[in-house]
Amino acid sequence: MPVHTEQLLKKPSNPPIMAGARPRRKKAAGRAKLLILVELALLVAFLGGDIPSAVPHITHPVAQTVAKTGPFISLPLNADEVGKLHHLSSYLSTKTLVNMYLSHMTLDQKLGQLFMVQYWGYSYSADLETMLHDQYAGGVIMYGAQMNTFKQTKSDIARMQEHAGLPLLISTDEEGGFVQRIMNIYGNRPGALQTYQTGNMQNAVKLGQSITHDLQALGINTDLAPDVDVPVVMGPDQYMRTWGYTPQSVIQWGGTFLRTVQGDGEIACLKHFPGLGAATTDAHTGLPVVKRTLDQIYATELAPYQYFVQSKNPLDHPGMIMTTDVLMPAIDPTMPAELSYPAVTGILRNQLGYNGVVITDALYMLGIAKKWSLPQAVVLAIEAGNDMILGVRDSSDLAASVAALKQAIANGDLSMARIDQSVARIIALKIQYHLLQGAPEH
Protein backbone atom coordinates (compact mmCIF):
# COMPACT_ATOMS: atom_id res chain seq x y z
CA MET A 1 0.00 0.00 0.00
CA PRO A 2 1.28 3.53 -0.71
CA VAL A 3 2.66 5.41 2.24
CA HIS A 4 0.69 8.33 3.68
CA THR A 5 3.30 11.05 3.33
CA GLU A 6 1.76 13.34 5.92
CA GLN A 7 2.17 10.61 8.54
CA LEU A 8 5.80 10.00 7.63
CA LEU A 9 6.60 13.69 7.80
CA LYS A 10 5.66 13.69 11.47
CA LYS A 11 8.82 12.81 13.36
CA PRO A 12 8.42 11.35 16.86
CA SER A 13 10.14 13.18 19.68
CA ASN A 14 13.58 11.94 20.64
CA PRO A 15 14.11 10.02 23.89
CA PRO A 16 15.92 12.04 26.58
CA ILE A 17 19.65 12.42 26.31
CA MET A 18 21.58 10.06 28.54
CA ALA A 19 23.19 11.96 31.38
CA GLY A 20 26.87 11.96 32.17
CA ALA A 21 29.91 12.88 30.15
CA ARG A 22 31.91 10.09 28.57
CA PRO A 23 35.68 10.43 28.97
CA ARG A 24 37.72 10.23 25.78
CA ARG A 25 40.09 7.29 25.58
CA LYS A 26 43.78 8.15 25.47
CA LYS A 27 45.40 7.81 22.07
CA ALA A 28 47.69 5.03 23.22
CA ALA A 29 44.74 2.85 24.19
CA GLY A 30 43.77 1.02 21.04
CA ARG A 31 41.64 -1.97 20.28
CA ALA A 32 43.04 -4.12 23.11
CA LYS A 33 41.53 -2.12 25.98
CA LEU A 34 38.00 -2.21 24.64
CA LEU A 35 38.16 -5.87 23.68
CA ILE A 36 39.65 -6.85 27.06
CA LEU A 37 36.82 -5.04 28.85
CA VAL A 38 34.28 -6.83 26.71
CA GLU A 39 35.97 -10.16 27.32
CA LEU A 40 35.83 -9.56 31.07
CA ALA A 41 32.13 -8.72 30.78
CA LEU A 42 31.59 -11.89 28.80
CA LEU A 43 33.47 -13.87 31.42
CA VAL A 44 31.28 -12.46 34.19
CA ALA A 45 28.17 -13.27 32.18
CA PHE A 46 29.39 -16.79 31.46
CA LEU A 47 30.28 -17.54 35.08
CA GLY A 48 27.18 -16.16 36.71
CA GLY A 49 26.14 -12.77 35.42
CA ASP A 50 22.66 -11.46 34.75
CA ILE A 51 21.96 -13.51 31.62
CA PRO A 52 21.97 -17.15 32.83
CA SER A 53 19.48 -18.25 30.19
CA ALA A 54 22.05 -17.58 27.46
CA VAL A 55 24.77 -19.66 29.07
CA PRO A 56 24.90 -23.47 29.30
CA HIS A 57 24.91 -25.07 32.72
CA ILE A 58 28.40 -25.85 34.08
CA THR A 59 28.92 -28.98 36.11
CA HIS A 60 32.03 -28.81 38.27
CA PRO A 61 34.21 -31.92 38.55
CA VAL A 62 34.18 -34.17 41.56
CA ALA A 63 36.90 -33.37 44.10
CA GLN A 64 40.12 -35.20 43.34
CA THR A 65 42.89 -36.48 45.62
CA VAL A 66 46.37 -35.28 44.80
CA ALA A 67 48.80 -37.80 46.28
CA LYS A 68 51.49 -36.54 48.63
CA THR A 69 50.93 -32.89 47.78
CA GLY A 70 48.28 -31.67 50.19
CA PRO A 71 44.58 -31.81 51.00
CA PHE A 72 41.72 -32.68 48.73
CA ILE A 73 41.18 -29.93 46.12
CA SER A 74 38.45 -29.10 43.59
CA LEU A 75 39.68 -27.80 40.26
CA PRO A 76 37.96 -24.46 39.45
CA LEU A 77 37.20 -25.45 35.84
CA ASN A 78 37.62 -28.62 33.87
CA ALA A 79 39.12 -28.78 30.38
CA ASP A 80 35.73 -28.61 28.66
CA GLU A 81 34.75 -25.49 30.59
CA VAL A 82 38.04 -23.80 29.78
CA GLY A 83 37.42 -24.52 26.11
CA LYS A 84 33.99 -22.92 26.32
CA LEU A 85 35.49 -19.74 27.70
CA HIS A 86 37.38 -19.34 24.43
CA HIS A 87 34.14 -19.56 22.42
CA LEU A 88 31.73 -17.50 24.48
CA SER A 89 30.08 -15.97 21.43
CA SER A 90 28.59 -19.38 20.69
CA TYR A 91 26.47 -19.11 23.83
CA LEU A 92 25.47 -15.46 23.83
CA SER A 93 22.99 -13.74 21.53
CA THR A 94 24.15 -11.05 19.14
CA LYS A 95 21.98 -8.56 21.03
CA THR A 96 23.76 -9.37 24.28
CA LEU A 97 27.20 -9.08 22.68
CA VAL A 98 26.30 -5.77 21.03
CA ASN A 99 25.08 -4.33 24.32
CA MET A 100 28.30 -5.37 26.01
CA TYR A 101 30.36 -3.54 23.43
CA LEU A 102 28.15 -0.45 23.65
CA SER A 103 28.45 -0.34 27.42
CA HIS A 104 32.25 -0.06 27.18
CA MET A 105 32.45 2.55 24.40
CA THR A 106 33.02 6.27 24.86
CA LEU A 107 30.99 8.83 22.95
CA ASP A 108 33.92 9.47 20.60
CA GLN A 109 34.24 5.77 19.87
CA LYS A 110 30.52 5.51 19.12
CA LEU A 111 30.44 8.52 16.84
CA GLY A 112 33.54 7.35 14.98
CA GLN A 113 31.82 4.08 14.10
CA LEU A 114 29.22 6.02 12.11
CA PHE A 115 31.73 6.95 9.39
CA MET A 116 33.04 4.99 6.44
CA VAL A 117 35.89 7.31 5.51
CA GLN A 118 37.93 7.65 2.36
CA TYR A 119 41.33 9.24 1.95
CA TRP A 120 43.37 11.30 -0.47
CA GLY A 121 46.32 9.92 -2.35
CA TYR A 122 47.20 6.51 -3.70
CA SER A 123 48.09 4.51 -0.61
CA TYR A 124 47.99 4.37 3.17
CA SER A 125 48.55 7.79 4.75
CA ALA A 126 49.22 9.36 8.13
CA ASP A 127 45.93 11.24 7.96
CA LEU A 128 44.06 7.98 7.36
CA GLU A 129 45.76 6.51 10.42
CA THR A 130 44.55 9.50 12.44
CA MET A 131 40.97 8.80 11.38
CA LEU A 132 41.29 5.13 12.30
CA HIS A 133 43.34 5.26 15.50
CA ASP A 134 42.46 8.61 17.03
CA GLN A 135 38.97 9.23 15.63
CA TYR A 136 37.72 5.61 15.69
CA ALA A 137 36.27 5.43 12.14
CA GLY A 138 34.11 2.38 11.60
CA GLY A 139 35.04 1.71 7.99
CA VAL A 140 37.04 2.74 4.92
CA ILE A 141 35.97 2.93 1.28
CA MET A 142 38.65 2.38 -1.36
CA TYR A 143 38.80 3.45 -5.00
CA GLY A 144 40.67 2.20 -8.03
CA ALA A 145 43.49 4.74 -7.80
CA GLN A 146 44.31 3.42 -4.32
CA MET A 147 44.51 -0.22 -5.42
CA ASN A 148 47.35 -0.62 -7.89
CA THR A 149 48.92 -3.98 -7.06
CA PHE A 150 47.82 -6.97 -5.06
CA LYS A 151 50.68 -6.71 -2.57
CA GLN A 152 50.29 -2.97 -2.01
CA THR A 153 46.51 -3.15 -1.55
CA LYS A 154 46.60 -6.13 0.79
CA SER A 155 49.36 -4.49 2.83
CA ASP A 156 47.50 -1.17 3.09
CA ILE A 157 44.32 -2.89 4.26
CA ALA A 158 46.22 -4.95 6.83
CA ARG A 159 47.72 -1.73 8.23
CA MET A 160 44.28 -0.14 8.41
CA GLN A 161 42.92 -3.05 10.43
CA GLU A 162 45.97 -3.04 12.67
CA HIS A 163 45.48 0.60 13.65
CA ALA A 164 41.69 0.53 14.03
CA GLY A 165 39.98 0.53 17.40
CA LEU A 166 37.51 -2.11 16.22
CA PRO A 167 37.72 -4.24 13.06
CA LEU A 168 36.81 -2.16 10.02
CA LEU A 169 34.26 -2.51 7.27
CA ILE A 170 36.55 -2.21 4.23
CA SER A 171 34.43 -1.46 1.19
CA THR A 172 34.58 -0.70 -2.50
CA ASP A 173 32.13 -0.34 -5.40
CA GLU A 174 32.81 -3.44 -7.45
CA GLU A 175 29.94 -4.04 -9.85
CA GLY A 176 31.94 -5.02 -12.91
CA GLY A 177 31.48 -3.32 -16.27
CA PHE A 178 31.19 0.44 -15.98
CA VAL A 179 31.96 0.52 -12.22
CA GLN A 180 35.17 -1.35 -11.43
CA ARG A 181 37.63 -0.53 -8.64
CA ILE A 182 40.01 -3.52 -8.69
CA MET A 183 40.65 -3.66 -12.42
CA ASN A 184 44.29 -2.58 -11.95
CA ILE A 185 44.84 -5.85 -10.12
CA TYR A 186 42.42 -8.30 -11.75
CA GLY A 187 41.55 -6.76 -15.12
CA ASN A 188 38.12 -6.16 -16.63
CA ARG A 189 35.01 -8.18 -15.93
CA PRO A 190 31.44 -7.87 -17.27
CA GLY A 191 28.88 -5.75 -15.48
CA ALA A 192 25.24 -6.26 -14.58
CA LEU A 193 23.64 -5.44 -17.94
CA GLN A 194 26.24 -7.40 -19.92
CA THR A 195 25.64 -10.38 -17.67
CA TYR A 196 21.87 -10.09 -18.00
CA GLN A 197 22.13 -9.91 -21.79
CA THR A 198 23.80 -13.34 -21.91
CA GLY A 199 20.47 -14.84 -20.87
CA ASN A 200 22.33 -17.35 -18.69
CA MET A 201 21.59 -16.92 -14.97
CA GLN A 202 24.67 -18.95 -14.09
CA ASN A 203 26.77 -16.02 -15.31
CA ALA A 204 25.38 -13.89 -12.47
CA VAL A 205 26.58 -16.57 -10.08
CA LYS A 206 30.02 -16.63 -11.71
CA LEU A 207 30.28 -12.84 -11.55
CA GLY A 208 29.37 -12.81 -7.85
CA GLN A 209 31.82 -15.58 -7.06
CA SER A 210 34.72 -13.99 -8.92
CA ILE A 211 34.14 -10.59 -7.31
CA THR A 212 33.83 -12.06 -3.83
CA HIS A 213 36.95 -14.20 -4.23
CA ASP A 214 39.05 -11.28 -5.46
CA LEU A 215 37.81 -8.80 -2.84
CA GLN A 216 38.34 -11.19 0.04
CA ALA A 217 41.86 -12.05 -1.13
CA LEU A 218 42.68 -8.36 -0.70
CA GLY A 219 40.92 -8.00 2.67
CA ILE A 220 37.87 -6.12 1.36
CA ASN A 221 34.87 -7.43 3.28
CA THR A 222 32.10 -5.20 1.86
CA ASP A 223 30.98 -4.81 -1.75
CA LEU A 224 28.77 -1.77 -2.31
CA ALA A 225 26.73 -3.71 -4.85
CA PRO A 226 24.40 -4.76 -6.44
CA ASP A 227 22.77 -1.76 -8.05
CA VAL A 228 19.04 -2.58 -8.00
CA ASP A 229 17.80 0.55 -9.75
CA VAL A 230 15.04 -0.20 -12.27
CA PRO A 231 15.69 1.82 -15.46
CA VAL A 232 12.50 3.70 -16.21
CA VAL A 233 14.86 5.75 -18.37
CA MET A 234 18.50 4.92 -18.98
CA GLY A 235 19.77 7.90 -17.04
CA PRO A 236 23.28 9.37 -17.04
CA ASP A 237 24.41 7.45 -13.95
CA GLN A 238 22.84 4.12 -14.95
CA TYR A 239 24.77 3.15 -18.08
CA MET A 240 25.37 -0.64 -18.15
CA ARG A 241 24.71 -0.92 -14.39
CA THR A 242 21.19 -2.37 -14.24
CA TRP A 243 20.09 -6.00 -14.10
CA GLY A 244 17.76 -5.78 -17.06
CA TYR A 245 14.90 -3.37 -17.53
CA THR A 246 12.05 -4.40 -15.23
CA PRO A 247 11.51 -4.91 -11.49
CA GLN A 248 11.22 -8.63 -12.16
CA SER A 249 14.56 -8.90 -13.96
CA VAL A 250 16.29 -6.81 -11.29
CA ILE A 251 14.88 -9.04 -8.56
CA GLN A 252 15.75 -12.26 -10.39
CA TRP A 253 19.22 -11.41 -11.66
CA GLY A 254 20.28 -8.95 -8.98
CA GLY A 255 18.99 -11.40 -6.37
CA THR A 256 21.15 -14.19 -7.80
CA PHE A 257 24.20 -11.93 -7.53
CA LEU A 258 23.22 -10.82 -4.00
CA ARG A 259 22.76 -14.36 -2.69
CA THR A 260 26.03 -15.48 -4.24
CA VAL A 261 28.05 -12.64 -2.71
CA GLN A 262 26.54 -12.95 0.75
CA GLY A 263 26.58 -16.75 0.61
CA ASP A 264 30.33 -16.53 0.10
CA GLY A 265 30.70 -14.39 3.24
CA GLU A 266 30.95 -10.92 1.71
CA ILE A 267 28.70 -8.09 2.90
CA ALA A 268 26.55 -6.78 0.04
CA CYS A 269 24.82 -3.42 -0.26
CA LEU A 270 21.70 -2.65 -2.29
CA LYS A 271 21.70 0.78 -3.95
CA HIS A 272 20.45 3.44 -4.66
CA PHE A 273 17.41 3.72 -2.37
CA PRO A 274 14.68 4.68 -3.13
CA GLY A 275 15.72 4.43 -6.79
CA LEU A 276 17.54 6.34 -9.52
CA GLY A 277 15.88 4.56 -12.44
CA ALA A 278 13.81 7.58 -13.46
CA ALA A 279 16.51 10.20 -12.81
CA THR A 280 17.66 12.30 -15.75
CA THR A 281 20.29 14.20 -13.75
CA ASP A 282 23.51 12.72 -12.37
CA ALA A 283 23.57 13.34 -8.60
CA HIS A 284 27.33 13.91 -8.82
CA THR A 285 26.57 17.20 -10.57
CA GLY A 286 23.11 18.17 -9.31
CA LEU A 287 20.03 16.94 -7.47
CA PRO A 288 17.80 14.66 -9.57
CA VAL A 289 14.07 15.35 -9.23
CA VAL A 290 11.74 12.43 -9.97
CA LYS A 291 8.09 13.49 -10.28
CA ARG A 292 6.38 10.12 -10.17
CA THR A 293 3.33 9.11 -8.19
CA LEU A 294 3.50 6.98 -5.06
CA ASP A 295 1.80 4.14 -6.92
CA GLN A 296 4.45 4.28 -9.64
CA ILE A 297 7.32 4.44 -7.13
CA TYR A 298 6.00 1.49 -5.12
CA ALA A 299 5.34 -0.60 -8.21
CA THR A 300 8.75 -0.02 -9.77
CA GLU A 301 11.55 1.69 -7.81
CA LEU A 302 10.70 0.20 -4.41
CA ALA A 303 9.73 -3.28 -5.64
CA PRO A 304 13.26 -4.79 -5.39
CA TYR A 305 13.79 -3.40 -1.87
CA GLN A 306 10.47 -4.76 -0.64
CA TYR A 307 11.25 -8.17 -2.12
CA PHE A 308 14.73 -8.51 -0.66
CA VAL A 309 13.98 -7.05 2.77
CA GLN A 310 10.87 -9.18 3.25
CA SER A 311 12.18 -12.39 1.65
CA LYS A 312 12.18 -15.57 3.74
CA ASN A 313 15.64 -16.43 2.43
CA PRO A 314 18.27 -14.93 4.79
CA LEU A 315 20.74 -14.53 1.92
CA ASP A 316 18.32 -12.07 0.31
CA HIS A 317 18.56 -9.76 3.31
CA PRO A 318 21.21 -7.17 2.42
CA GLY A 319 23.86 -6.42 5.01
CA MET A 320 23.61 -2.78 3.96
CA ILE A 321 21.38 -0.49 1.91
CA MET A 322 22.64 2.77 0.39
CA THR A 323 20.42 5.82 0.24
CA THR A 324 21.04 8.49 -2.36
CA ASP A 325 20.56 12.04 -3.61
CA VAL A 326 17.18 12.14 -5.31
CA LEU A 327 14.16 14.33 -4.61
CA MET A 328 10.85 12.49 -4.92
CA PRO A 329 8.13 15.02 -4.05
CA ALA A 330 5.54 12.27 -3.68
CA ILE A 331 7.54 10.96 -0.71
CA ASP A 332 9.10 14.17 0.62
CA PRO A 333 8.60 17.51 -1.16
CA THR A 334 11.61 19.23 0.43
CA MET A 335 14.40 16.82 1.38
CA PRO A 336 16.52 14.54 -0.83
CA ALA A 337 15.89 10.89 0.00
CA GLU A 338 19.11 10.25 1.93
CA LEU A 339 18.33 13.20 4.23
CA SER A 340 14.61 12.45 4.42
CA TYR A 341 12.99 11.02 7.54
CA PRO A 342 9.87 9.96 5.58
CA ALA A 343 12.02 8.08 3.05
CA VAL A 344 14.58 6.41 5.34
CA THR A 345 12.68 5.86 8.58
CA GLY A 346 9.14 6.08 7.28
CA ILE A 347 9.42 3.78 4.27
CA LEU A 348 12.64 1.77 4.52
CA ARG A 349 12.55 1.17 8.27
CA ASN A 350 8.89 1.24 9.27
CA GLN A 351 7.05 0.13 6.14
CA LEU A 352 9.48 -2.29 4.54
CA GLY A 353 10.86 -3.44 7.89
CA TYR A 354 14.59 -3.11 7.24
CA ASN A 355 16.70 -3.07 10.40
CA GLY A 356 20.16 -3.50 8.92
CA VAL A 357 22.83 -0.87 8.29
CA VAL A 358 21.77 2.05 6.10
CA ILE A 359 24.63 4.04 4.59
CA THR A 360 24.47 7.33 2.71
CA ASP A 361 25.87 7.98 -0.72
CA ALA A 362 28.84 10.37 -0.73
CA LEU A 363 27.62 13.56 0.91
CA TYR A 364 30.06 15.71 -1.04
CA MET A 365 28.19 14.97 -4.27
CA LEU A 366 26.69 18.18 -5.59
CA GLY A 367 23.12 16.99 -5.24
CA ILE A 368 23.68 17.56 -1.49
CA ALA A 369 26.73 19.82 -1.24
CA LYS A 370 25.19 22.70 -3.20
CA LYS A 371 22.77 23.29 -0.32
CA TRP A 372 24.28 21.81 2.85
CA SER A 373 27.78 21.74 4.31
CA LEU A 374 29.18 18.31 5.11
CA PRO A 375 28.61 18.63 8.91
CA GLN A 376 25.04 19.81 8.31
CA ALA A 377 24.35 16.92 5.96
CA VAL A 378 25.84 14.43 8.41
CA VAL A 379 23.46 15.49 11.18
CA LEU A 380 20.46 15.48 8.82
CA ALA A 381 21.41 12.01 7.56
CA ILE A 382 21.57 10.50 11.05
CA GLU A 383 18.32 12.24 12.02
CA ALA A 384 16.69 10.75 8.92
CA GLY A 385 17.63 7.21 10.01
CA ASN A 386 20.95 6.46 8.26
CA ASP A 387 23.59 4.59 10.28
CA MET A 388 26.82 5.23 8.37
CA ILE A 389 28.13 8.23 6.48
CA LEU A 390 30.04 8.30 3.20
CA GLY A 391 31.77 11.47 2.11
CA VAL A 392 34.37 12.19 4.81
CA ARG A 393 37.74 12.48 3.07
CA ASP A 394 40.19 13.57 5.78
CA SER A 395 40.58 13.97 9.53
CA SER A 396 39.45 17.60 9.49
CA ASP A 397 36.20 16.58 7.74
CA LEU A 398 35.71 13.89 10.35
CA ALA A 399 36.45 16.21 13.28
CA ALA A 400 33.96 18.78 12.00
CA SER A 401 31.30 16.12 11.44
CA VAL A 402 31.74 14.60 14.90
CA ALA A 403 31.60 18.08 16.44
CA ALA A 404 28.31 18.72 14.62
CA LEU A 405 26.85 15.47 15.95
CA LYS A 406 27.92 16.34 19.49
CA GLN A 407 26.29 19.74 19.15
CA ALA A 408 23.08 18.12 17.89
CA ILE A 409 23.11 15.84 20.95
CA ALA A 410 23.69 18.78 23.27
CA ASN A 411 20.84 20.70 21.59
CA GLY A 412 18.45 17.80 21.91
CA ASP A 413 18.14 17.35 18.13
CA LEU A 414 19.72 13.90 18.43
CA SER A 415 19.44 11.54 21.38
CA MET A 416 22.05 9.11 22.64
CA ALA A 417 19.42 6.40 22.13
CA ARG A 418 19.38 7.25 18.42
CA ILE A 419 23.20 7.15 18.23
CA ASP A 420 23.31 3.83 20.09
CA GLN A 421 20.76 2.40 17.67
CA SER A 422 23.04 3.02 14.70
CA VAL A 423 26.20 1.86 16.46
CA ALA A 424 24.40 -1.30 17.54
CA ARG A 425 23.48 -2.10 13.93
CA ILE A 426 27.07 -1.57 12.79
CA ILE A 427 28.52 -3.78 15.53
CA ALA A 428 25.88 -6.44 14.89
CA LEU A 429 26.82 -6.51 11.20
CA LYS A 430 30.49 -6.91 12.09
CA ILE A 431 29.63 -9.80 14.43
CA GLN A 432 27.32 -11.41 11.86
CA TYR A 433 30.08 -11.50 9.25
CA HIS A 434 32.72 -12.61 11.76
CA LEU A 435 34.72 -9.41 11.57
CA LEU A 436 34.23 -8.77 15.25
CA GLN A 437 34.46 -11.74 17.58
CA GLY A 438 32.18 -11.97 20.57
CA ALA A 439 34.99 -13.19 22.84
CA PRO A 440 38.35 -12.16 21.39
CA GLU A 441 41.29 -14.35 22.29
CA HIS A 442 44.55 -12.79 23.45
Collapsed DSSP state (helix, strand, coil) of residue 61? coil
Q: Is the pLDDT of residue 290 over 80?
A: yes
pLDDT value, residue 282: 87
pTM score: 0.82
Q: Is the pLDDT of residue 434 over 60?
A: yes
Mean pLDDT in residue range 276-298: 93
Task: Point out the least confidently predicted range of 74-88, 91-105, 184-198, 366-380.
Answer: 74-88
DSSP for residue 47: T
Transcribe 248-287 into DSSP letters. HHIIIIIHHHHHHHHHTT-EEEEEEET--TT--S-TTTS-
pLDDT value, residue 70: 38
pLDDT value, residue 274: 98
Q: Is the pLDDT of residue 43 over 60?
A: no
Domains of the chain, start order: 37-90 (no CATH), 105-411 (3.20.20.300)
Per-residue pLDDT tens digits for 163-175: 998 999 999 999 9
Q: Higher pLDDT residue, 105 or 73?
A: 105
Average pLDDT, rounded, for the chain: 84
Per-residue pLDDT tens digits for 92-127: 788 888 999 999 999 999 999 999 999 988 889 999
Per-residue pLDDT tens digits for 223-249: 999 999 999 987 777 778 999 999 999
Q: What percent of the chain has pLDDT over 90?
A: 72
Check if the beta carbon of residue 213 is closer than 8 Å to that of residue 264.
yes
Q: Is the pLDDT of residue 183 over 70?
A: yes
pLDDT value, residue 45: 45
Cβ-based neighbours of 431, under 8 Å, separated by 6 or more: 89, 94, 97, 98, 437, 438
Q: Is the pLDDT of residue 156 over 80?
A: yes
Closest CA to 233 of 151, 315, 165, 292: 292
pLDDT value, residue 93: 81
Give the whole-angstrom CA distance, residue 418 versus residue 251. Answer: 32
pLDDT value, residue 95: 87
Using pLDDT thresholds of 50, 70 and 90, give the confidence band for residue 25: very low
Using pLDDT thresholds of 50, 70 and 90, give the confidence band for residue 87: low
3-state secondary structure 14-43: CCCCCCCCCCCCCCCCCHHHHHHHHHHHHH
